[in-house]
Amino acid sequence: MKAVFQTRNGKPDVLQLGDLPNPSFGPKDVLVNNLATSVNPRDCLIRAGRYQLQFLVPKFPLVLGSDCYGRVLSTGSEVSDFKEGDLVYGLKNPSHGLGTYADCVSIPAVNLARAPDNISSEQGAGIPLCALTAWQALIDHGQLKGGKKVLIIGASGGVGSFAVQIAKAHSTEVAGICSTVNTEFVQSLGADQVYDYKSQDIKTLTGQYDIIFDTIGQHSPATCRHLLSEGATFVTTVPTPSFMLKHLTSKLMSMLSIPHIHNRVVMVKPNQQQLNEITRLIEQEAIVPVIDSVYGLEDAGDAHLRSQSKRAVGKIIIRTQHS
């Protein structure tokens, strides 16, 4: 298979394109002819050896990548949900071996869902990790439902753009925080209010929110305390030791029915049922995946530089095959 891989940690120039053996797959796995993948911030952290959960990362030669989108080549003996030729997409975490910066991917069948039929391969490749992160943050942790008020920090990014749309699809009032140039874009996603972080310090904002979702890890429950309603939930994507301690403490307080601000860290997990729900919303056009830019496998390093610029609007895509 053609793949982008690395044999040491470092800057984007450690990524190299070459041929590797096709991945092995077991009785519960599916082999996918992968058409595209996406760049997620954790790819850059893993590449550099700075990921918080680096101990879960496979050994060298390491093929990065969590999102896959393509057609089923073959299935393991215990797989009955998919057949050859099915268009699928799914998520591989480090503990599942990563490996989607390649034109062939082995992935557990339970990590996959049938892909929407009304989007491009580039759009499809940008959905699983970010959409599931947003879903699990808002619905699993935030108990999102109609009538709630939600604030999304980093509303123009990969996770943020899905979070705004998922929140609106559940009949909530949504505010977003982003940079000046992305204000109109976040409004186009359905946000009821948009704040420009360059001209409005979060400490000066007013209002009360039932869920605050910080998609970029820039804030804490303390800096947002004045915006959190009684019993509200603050969710971050960054699993630092301090946030993990807050998460565990909050879980214990919830079990004991002690009133408090709920602190949560979302650590995305593959979930076929949730991905099916996301597919349904995409096919209804309640969610439209947004692409920032598209690169070829040979330009994976440039795709990482784009991600590290923190200027991406929507998803950064890597085509794994020539069209």
All structural domains of the chain, each given as residue ranges with its CATH number in brackets, are: 2-127+289-319 (3.90.180.10), 130-265 (3.40.50.720)
Reading the block at residue 167, the tokens are: 């929140």
CB atoms within 10 A of CB 290: 21
Instruction: Judge whether 287 and 165 are in contact, CB under 8 Å.
Output: yes
The per-residue pLDDT for 198 is: 82
pLDDT value for 6 = 98
Encoded amino acid at 168, one letter: K
**Predicted TM-score of the model (pTM):** 0.95
Q: Provide the pLDDT for residue 309.
A: 92
Give me the pLDDT at residue 323, please.
Answer: 55
pLDDT mean across residues, the chain: 95
The beta-strand segments (E) located in the chain are 2-5, 16-19, 29-39, 67-75, 87-91, 104-108, 112-114, 149-153, 173-178, 193-196, 209-214, 228-236, 262-265, 291-296, 315-319
- The low-confidence residues of the chain, meaning pLDDT below 50, are none
pLDDT at 207: 93
> Which 8-state DSSP code applies to residue 291?
E
